[in-house]
Structure 1
Amino acid sequence: MTDPADPARGALLVTQPVPDLQLQLLIQLLDREPRSGLPLTLAVPSGVLHGEVIGHESWKAEWARSLRQVEGEGANLLAEFPETVDQGIKEAQADEDTVSLPRWIHLRDATLVCGGVAPLRLPLWRGRLSDVSGWALGRPE
C-alpha cells in the first residue's frame, strides 16, 4: 500500500470545506442592502449560534461605531481596520475578472449556545462560512 502523503506520488491535494452556496447567495443579497438583516440560526463547531445576519458593510459600520466608544488611540486605529483590509483586497483583485462569493458571515445581537454553560451574548460576530455546517431562517423560541 502506498502512502498518499509520499512526495514521490506527486503534489498533495489540499482540500478545504466548501461553504453552502445558498447561504453565500443569501449573504450576497444582504450585502446589496446595508440596512437589511434576517434572523438566522447556525450550527457551528462550538454550538448553536443565532442572531440577525447582516451584510459586510453593515458589520464594518457597526464594528467601527462600537470601537469609537472605547477610550484610547488604539481604538480609533482599529475602527478603520475593516475598511483598510477591504481596500487592500480590492486592489489585489483589481486585475482579476472573477466575481467572488462571500466567505464570511456576520451576525448582530448574536447568542452562542453551548452545552452545559450559560448562553454567550455577542453584539457583533464574524465567522467563516465554511465553518457553518447547517442553518435555518429564524431564531429558536
Structure 2
Amino acid sequence: MTESVQAPPEASAVITEPVPDLQLQLLIQLLDRELRSSLPITLTLTGGVLHGDVIGHEAWKSDWARSLRQVEGEGANLIAEFPETVDQGIRELVAGEGVAQLPRWIHLRDVTLVLGGAAALHLPLWRGRLADVSGWALGRPQ
C-alpha cells in the first residue's frame, strides 16, 4: 500500500515578536490622556539601563516637532511637519484595521542611557519599542 502525501495549504507568513508588558502598555495609555503628564521611570533593555520621564505619545510628538523646527536648511519646513504626517499615516492604518491597539512604543524625556562600562549618554527625547523593554520600575536611580 502506498501513502499519498499532500502538500500543506498555502501558509501565510507569521510575524512574531516579544510581547510587551501589559501593565506598562496600560500605564502609557493612561499617560496619553494628558499632554502634561509624566512619571519618572527606569527601564532595563538588552544593552543597559535607561531612565527618564515617561510621557505620552502626544507630549513626545509635540517636543519632537519643537526640536525639528530648530533644524536649519532647505528642507526645514518639510521636516517640521513630519511628526504630524507620520501620525496621520498611523491613524489611517489603524482605522483600516478597525481595532484600537495598545501602545507599542514608549517615549521618554530627559533621558540617561547607561550601556555597559561606557559613560552615561544624556538625551532630551527617546522613543523605543515596548517589546524591547525587559523590565521597568517607577522612579530613577538614586
TM range (shorter): 0.7 to 0.9
Deviation, 1:69, is: 1.5
Deviation per CA, 1:51-73: give whole Å up to 9, x if none.
00000000011011111122123
* Runs of at least 5 residues in structure 1 that lack an aligned partner in the other structure: 1-7
CA contact (8 A) 1:60 1:82 kept: yes
CA distance in 2, matches of 1:111, 1:76: 30
Aligned letter for 1:110?
V
Task: Indicate the RMSD between aligned Cα atoms, in angstroms.
Answer: 1.7
CA distance in 2, matches of 1:77, 1:31: 26
CA contact (8 A) 2:47 2:116 kept: no
Deviation, 1:95, is: 3.9
Deviation per CA, 1:10-50: give whole Å up to 9, x if none.
74654210000000000000000010000000001221000
The correspondence of residues 67-106 of structure 1 with structure 2, limited to 5 A, is 67-106=68-107
Greater radius of gyration (CA): 2
Q: How many residues align?
A: 134
The correspondence of residues 1-141 of structure 1 with structure 2, limited to 5 A, is 11=11, 14-141=15-142
CA distance in 1, matches of 2:58, 2:132: 21
Deviation per CA, 1:114-141: give whole Å up to 9, x if none.
1211100000000000000000000001
CA distance in 2, matches of 1:92, 1:132: 25
TM-score norm. by structure 1 comes to 0.87
What residue is the counterpart of 2:3 in the other structure? none
TM-score norm. by structure 2 comes to 0.87
* Runs of at least 5 residues in structure 2 that lack an aligned partner in the other structure: 1-6
Deviation per CA, 1:55-98: give whole Å up to 9, x if none.
00000110111111221232332221121111112122324331
Aligned letter for 1:128?
R
CA distance in 2, matches of 1:138, 1:80: 33
Report sequence identity in percent: 75
